[in-house]
Structure 1
Amino acid sequence: MNVIFMGTPSYADEILKELISDQEINIVAVYTQPDKPVGRKKVLTPPPVKVTAEKAGIAVYQPTRLRDEETVAELLKIDCDYIVVAAYGQILPKAVLDHAPCINLHASILPQYRGASPIQQTLLNGDVKTGVTAMLMDVGLDTGDILKISEIDVPDDEMVATLFERLTVVASELTIDVLKNYKNYTPVKQDETLATHCTKITKAEGKVSFDSAQEVYNKYRAFTPWPGIYLESGLKLKNISLVETKSKNDSGKIIEVKKESIIVGCTNGSLEIFSVQPESKKEMNVLSYINGKRIGVEDTLS
């Protein structure tokens, strides 16, 4: 079968690699976002998907706007059986949606968490289950009919990086399954009454206070390494764990100083903190930080 692939980040790249390795699937073209400047030196860097496609000798297209008439006309000349879309980052116009069945791999159990940050939202909400949904795309945002959902459990200490990796594997396997068995699946409409949405993560969302230990820990799981979590003072909490969620404490008060960490109370619950990073400084052991600040048990971490 002939497939046009659309995607940009590493999540999409792993799916593309799986498709390329399958003898029954022929990737006839890859669409990805334009190269972007990265790092302090603003080095123009190609998306992971582009690198993989070029190594495999696949034609790569990087339109700034997929909706432009010339871009659409060019795409419609490419004969294909399916279009696979995974974290592409652009809206597909109706003409493209009509060109071939467009199958999207979304990292949530739709209609839950439509939008840009479903993996982070799973952790922010403390969900015990998530998955990948293969759906037929329509003109809405993640609103298309569902073909198949693959679910996985989420441990209560899972971090976003490992969840991302596991969901990528699920998505890769699901893509192959749906492409090869497409005719055996009956599309099912999403229940709009159950729909929830999530937006692109911003740096401001990493700000925390010691109100709920569970909430702080969930943000830590979802936002490490970026944007990270930090206090009003700008102090970043780099390595923490959840102690418990039941106790009542003064917000931010240091309850105990241990050999390599401190226990900090929250209005609800407590956290163990191992390392921090003051503004404009390197990450350090939390004991070095509190010793430098000359604070200890009964003082407030800030």
Structure 2
Amino acid sequence: MRVVFAGTPEFAACALRALHEAGFEIPLVLTQPDRPAGRGMQLQASSVKQYALAHGMEVAQPLSLRMDSKDPQRGTEARAAHERLLALDYDVMVVAAYGLILPRSTLDIRPCINIHGSLLPRWRGAAPIHRAIEAGDRETGVTIMGMEEGLDTGPMMLMERVPIADTDTTGSLHDRLAELGGRMIVEALRRMEAGVLEAVPQPEDGVTYAAKISKEEAKLDFTLPAELLWRRVRAFNPFPGAHGMVDGVAVKVWNAVLAEGSGAPGAVLSADAQGVVVACGGGALRMTELQKPGGKRLAAPDFLKSFPLSGKVFS
């Protein structure tokens, strides 16, 4: 089969690598335009683009695929991408965390299959891994689905479940789901080649939406229960990084566990080699890995050497 691939971050690059290593021909890769990144804010190619170019694949980076865009440049690039797809001999488009909406004009050219990091219909939308951890879900997984114009509403083709451990962060869970998604899309396309890939509609019950993560919600509100804050610390690791304010300084919290203790929300109950225990609206949170602005991520004992927290209050 000839596969057009559309994706952008590392999650998608894992799938592209799996397809390439499985021997599928990939005549075109779509990915988002290069973005400024890092301290120098230099333009950086997406993980998908880097893999594609390293393996001699053609890459296109349109700003949009919507030909009716009111922005002249977006409309022009969308029409060029549409014409390229129409002229291309391919069998299926595989989409994984592309970041652009595929309009009906694209969906109608060839079948489109999506790799989605949740157990649909739970957590449709942009941030299914973050939201599953934040909500305290005990399991998640990957769904291979057909694409429609609706947001992750298409029929399900394959699904595999993955347990969520108490130690999981979005980073660790992302890596497991990315590898699983790569394996599953290879299996799905092989079934499609054999004519035995079935699709079933999603259940109408249990639909939830995984809204995009904002930097603002990563600020910890210590009037909330410790268990919710513990889940948010894990959900926002590595992006955008949960944080609390101490004397006007944003202290990032990369890892934490639940602890015993009570007091005024935000009050530091203890700060020692075991971690920094902070009272919450219910229970307490023991922070075990922290970071100050411009500093490195440090285990609590090392962090406290340069940033004492005894008697302080997180706000």
Q: State whether TM-score is above 0.5.
A: yes
Unaligned runs of 5+ in 2: 67-77
1:222 paired residue number: 235
- Taking the aligned partners of 2:177 and 2:281, their CA distance within structure 1 comes to 34
- TM superposition shift of 1:106: 0.6
- Taking the aligned partners of 1:272 and 1:240, their CA distance within structure 2 comes to 9
More moved, 116-125 vs 74-83: 74-83
Aligned ranges 1:56-205 → 2 under 5 Å: 56-67=55-66, 68-182=78-192, 183-205=195-217
Unaligned runs of 5+ in 1: none
Mark the CA change 1:191 to 1:254 in structure 2 (over 3 Å): closer, same or farther.
same
The residue type paired with residue 263 of structure 1 is: V
- Taking the aligned partners of 1:207 and 1:101, their CA distance within structure 2 comes to 42
Q: Deviation digits for residues 175-203 of structure 1, max 9, x if unmatched?
A: 00100012323211122332111222111
The residue type paired with residue 269 of structure 1 is: G
CA contact (8 A) 1:229 1:238 kept: yes
- Taking the aligned partners of 1:213 and 1:158, their CA distance within structure 2 comes to 17
Mark the CA change 1:290 to 1:142 in structure 2 (over 3 Å): closer, same or farther.
same
2:37 paired residue number: 38
- Taking the aligned partners of 1:6 and 1:239, their CA distance within structure 2 comes to 31
- TM superposition shift of 1:238: 2.6
Q: Secondary structure at the match of 2:28?
A: strand
Q: Secondary structure at the match of 2:133?
A: helix
- Taking the aligned partners of 1:37 and 1:287, their CA distance within structure 2 comes to 33
- Taking the aligned partners of 2:226 and 2:232, their CA distance within structure 1 comes to 10
1:236 paired residue number: 251
Q: Secondary structure at the match of 2:244?
A: coil
1:270 paired residue number: 284
Mark the CA change 1:179 to 1:40 in structure 2 (over 3 Å): closer, same or farther.
same
Q: Secondary structure at the match of 1:54?
A: helix
Mark the CA change 1:72 to 1:126 in structure 2 (over 3 Å): closer, same or farther.
same
- Taking the aligned partners of 1:180 and 1:59, their CA distance within structure 2 comes to 23
- TM superposition shift of 1:152: 0.6
- TM superposition shift of 1:253: 3.0
- TM superposition shift of 1:257: 4.1
Q: Percent identity?
A: 34
- TM superposition shift of 1:78: 0.7
2:74 paired residue number: none
- TM superposition shift of 1:255: 3.1
Mark the CA change 1:61 to 1:101 in structure 2 (over 3 Å): closer, same or farther.
same
The residue type paired with residue 44 of structure 2 is: T
The size of the alignment, in residue pairs, is 296
- TM superposition shift of 1:278: 4.4
- TM superposition shift of 1:42: 2.6
Q: Deviation digits for residues 74-123 of structure 1, max 9, x if unmatched?
A: 21111111110001111112122122210000101111111110010011
Shift >4 Å, 4+ stretches: 278-284
Q: Deviation digits for residues 248-292 of structure 1, max 9, x if unmatched?
A: 54322333343342322222122212344445666564533664x
- TM superposition shift of 1:12: 0.7
CA contact (8 A) 1:273 1:286 kept: no
More moved, 53-62 vs 235-244: 235-244
More moved, 269-278 vs 55-64: 269-278
The residue type paired with residue 288 of structure 1 is: K
- Taking the aligned partners of 1:93 and 1:243, their CA distance within structure 2 comes to 45
More moved, 66-75 vs 215-224: 66-75
- Taking the aligned partners of 1:34 and 1:258, their CA distance within structure 2 comes to 46
- Taking the aligned partners of 1:281 and 1:62, their CA distance within structure 2 comes to 35
- Taking the aligned partners of 2:314 and 2:6, their CA distance within structure 1 comes to 47
The residue type paired with residue 26 of structure 1 is: E
- Taking the aligned partners of 2:283 and 2:221, their CA distance within structure 1 comes to 13
The residue type paired with residue 285 of structure 2 is: L
Mark the CA change 1:269 to 1:100 in structure 2 (over 3 Å): closer, same or farther.
same
The residue type paired with residue 204 of structure 1 is: E
CA contact (8 A) 2:219 2:244 kept: yes
TM-score normalised by L of structure 1: 0.90
Task: Tell me which of 259, 262, 271 is aligned to 2:273.
Answer: 259
More moved, 163-172 vs 42-51: 42-51
- Taking the aligned partners of 2:275 and 2:255, their CA distance within structure 1 comes to 9
TM-score normalised by L of structure 2: 0.86
